[in-house]
Amino acid sequence: MRARLTALVYVPVALVLVLVGLLYAASVTRAQQQDVFFDRVRDASYLTITARQAILADDPGIVAVDLERYRQVYGIRSAVVDQAGVTLAAAGLEVEDYPQRHTAIAGRPSEMTTSFWPWDVDEVVVAEPVHDGEDVVGALVTVSDTQALERNIWLSWGLLTAGGVAVALLAVLIADRTAGWVLRPVRVVDAAMERMGSGRLDERIPPSTGPPELREVVTRFNEMAERVEQLMRRQQEFVANASHELRNPLNALMLRIEGLALTVPPDQVDEVEHVRAEAERMAQILDALLLLADDAGMGPAQPVDLVELAERRIDGWRLVERGREVRLTAPDRPVWAGVDPTALGTALDTIVDNALKFSPPEEPLEIVVHDEPGRLEIVVRDHGPGVAPDHLARLTERFWRSPGHSNVRGSGLGLAIASELLSSAGGRLRLELPDDGGLRAHLQVPAWDDEPEEEPA
């Protein structure tokens, strides 16, 4: 956006510079051509004095010396003709090749020939009539080349071009700085929104420079951030209060159920077991809801070794699920990801718990750590019954359970929790159905750019 804004500011300036440069170049060219022409006219006016004397005395020698000297000093050829157009004296000039002499004999001085391009004018021809009183008795013609004039014009154009380039570079710098000044509040707002998205709800933007309209945007952003922080704080307070208010009655209910189980007749034991199962399911749902609602504990991304994390979590599950085979395939080196370890560990626990719950006890659970370009993930593969292909997209919906698994313990929040935890940590959960049955869950996480010198505690 900065480049586009810079171009938007610079293009009109560049067009104005080009237009002004062309007009100035044409003005300089015409001015130098006029200077040369009028300089030749002045010289011709001086030479016409001796030319008149030579024509009236019919003595070419009177003016021939001046014409030759003029040619030697300035390199300008010249000639004098009488009223009949016959050459009286010449200094290196074949005057018959220049029809301007007829115009001068007729009493009209020659006019300046100008062109924008210096190479279009090869010679400067000045033909001045020679007067004796009010009568025209002859003409003086001078012809000079334009090499010096061309050099001066090219030099002027070079200086003009250099100045234009310098002004253009200065205009680019000013346009870039102007665009940066205009967009600085936008970049600050973008960075602040990114930090807020990572959990820093106390992020605020100090008043900065920039257009008043964008400073107003910064003010509105700070007001919005303040409101969001207040809403999130209220939500966290609500979660804490709900946890306290719901947990105590639920614990009391479960204690009463346990006490009731000791006193009920044998024929009502099954009913008590159903009540106990429903109470345990309520406790699971409460835990899942609290975990989904309270995401304030998610910290910023930090380097996490996926191999070490997977090994640690697998060891914990082997202690809980004794006798279940869990296979880990991972590189023999650290695989560093940039993620919140709590979020990733909780998501992995949720996926493993879901896989163990639906897999037959005799089937192994496969966990693979992939470290390939563009692919950094932990894959959990179970050999359970899987789901129908049209139900795959609904597995991460809250409280959704497959119709064929409604009798399996759980609340229908496990995969939804894992998906939201990974999303909050900058990753994503991708599910797929292998051809030989079961479910494969891909816990994809971003890579850590800079490998740490030592493993984090």
Which two structure tokens, joined as six digits, stand for 383? 């050999």
The answer to the question of residue 177 being in a domain is: no
CA distances from 27 to 23, 84, 122, 218 (A): 6, 40, 19, 50
**142: burial class by Cβ within 10 Å (0-12, 13-18, 19+)?**
buried
* One domain, residues 309 and 289: no
Q: Tell me what pLDDT residue 346 has.
A: 80
Among 73-77, 109-113, 168-172, 223-227, the minimum mean pLDDT is found in 109-113
E strands, 306-357, where? 326-329, 336-339
For residue 35, name the pLDDT band (cuts at 50, 70, 90): confident
Of the listed ranges 213-227, 311-325, 396-410, 417-431, the least confidently predicted one is: 396-410
**Could you say which of 273, 293, 313 is where a domain stops?**
293
Residue 336 located in a structural domain = yes
Residue 123 maps to a domain: yes
**In this predicted structure, what is the pLDDT of residue 132?**
85
Residue 207 lies in a domain: no
**Collapsing DSSP states into helix, strand and coil, what is residue 237?**
helix
| CATH code, domain with 102 | 3.30.450.20
Same domain, 343 and 281: no
User: What was the pLDDT predicted at 151?
Assistant: 81
Name the domain boundary from 293, 317, 334.
293
* pLDDT confidence of residue 457: 36
* 132, containing H or E segment: strand 123-132
Partners of 376 in the beta sheet? Answer: 371
Sheet with 365-372: strands ordered across: 326-329, 365-372, 375-382, 439-444, 428-432
Residues whose CB is less than 8 angstroms from the CB of residue 63 and which lie 6 or more positions away in sequence, other chains included: 47, 50, 51, 53, 54, 80, 88, 89
Q: For the residues 259-263, what does the mean pLDDT come to?
A: 80
Integer Cα distance of 359 and 344 in angstroms: 22
- DSSP letter at 156 equals H
Work out the angle at residue 74's Cα, subtended by the Cα atoms of residues 72 and 80, and round it to the nearest 5 degrees.
75
- Locus of tokens 């400067």: 124
> Both 126 and 27 in a single domain?
yes
Q: How much is the mean pLDDT over the chain? A: 78
Helix axes 147-197, 2-57, angle to 10 degrees: 170
| Inside any domain, residue 203 | no
The domain spanning residue 428 has which CATH number? 3.30.565.10
pLDDT of residue 115: 66
pLDDT band at residue 262 using 50, 70 and 90 as cut-offs: confident
Pairing of strands 336-339, 375-382: unpaired
- Residue 65 and residue 83 share a domain: yes
Q: What's residue 163's pLDDT? A: 85
Whether residue 451 lies inside any domain: the answer is: no
> For residues 1-33, b (16+ Cβ closer than 10 Å) or e, as one string?
eeeebbeebbeebbeebeeebeeebeebbeebb
Domain end point (choices 268, 293, 318): 293
Query: What's the total number of domains in the chain?
Result: 3
Task: Indicate whether 224 and 315 sit together in one domain.
Answer: no
Average pLDDT of span 111-121:
69
Give the DSSP H or E segment for 378: strand 375-382
Give pLDDT, residue 205: 74
The CA distance from 258 to 253, in Å, is 9
DSSP-H helix ranges across 106-146? none
Q: Which residue has the higher pLDDT, 37 or 285?
A: 37
The answer to whether residue 342 sits within a structural domain is: yes
Q: What is the pLDDT of residue 243?
A: 67
Residue 345 has a pLDDT of: 81
Span 433-444, mean pLDDT?
86
* Whether the predicted pLDDT of 453 surpasses 70: no
Query: In this structure, which long-range contacts are made by residues 56-64, counting pairs with CB atoms below 8 Å and at least 24 apart in sequence?
Result: 56/132, 56/137, 60/88, 60/89, 61/89, 63/88, 63/89, 64/89, 64/91
Q: Are residues 330 and 262 in the same domain?
A: no
Residue 117 domain flag: yes
264 — pLDDT class (breaks 50, 70, 90): confident
285: closest CA among 316, 253, 321, 243?
243
User: Which range is least confidently modeled, 85-94, 191-200, 398-407?
Assistant: 398-407
Give yes or no: residues 320 and 386 share one domain.
yes
Same-domain check for residues 279 and 389 = no
pLDDT tens track for 179-219: 777 777 777 777 777 777 666 767 777 766 566 767 777 77
Whether 319 and 428 map to the same domain: the answer is yes
CATH number at residue 255: 1.10.287
- Residue 11 vs residue 201, higher pLDDT: 11
| Highest mean pLDDT of the ranges 131-145, 256-270, 318-332, 406-420 | 131-145
Q: What is the pLDDT of residue 405?
A: 53
Pairing of strands 365-372, 326-329: parallel
Please check the confidence at residue 378 and state whether its pLDDT lies above 80. Answer: yes
* % of the chain exceeding 70 in pLDDT: 82
Rounded Cα distance between 399 and 284, Å, is: 12
Q: What is the pTM of this model?
A: 0.43
Q: Vertex 304, ends 379 and 235: CA angle to 5°? A: 90
Confidence at residue 452, expressed as pLDDT on a 0 to 100 scale? 47
Are the CB atoms for 125 and 98 separated by under 8 Å? yes
Instruction: State residue 332's pLDDT score.
Output: 87
Q: Are residues 306 and 275 in the same domain?
A: no
Same domain (yes/no): 379, 352: yes
Cα distance between residue 129 and residue 83, in whole Å: 10
**pLDDT for 401:** 64
The pLDDT-based confidence of 316 (bands split at 50, 70, 90) is: confident
Domain enclosing residue 282, as ranges:
212-293
Handedness of CA 189, 191, 193, 196 (dihedral sign): negative
Residues 11 and 141 in one domain: yes
pLDDT over 90, % of the chain: 1
Q: Is the pLDDT of residue 50 over 80?
A: yes
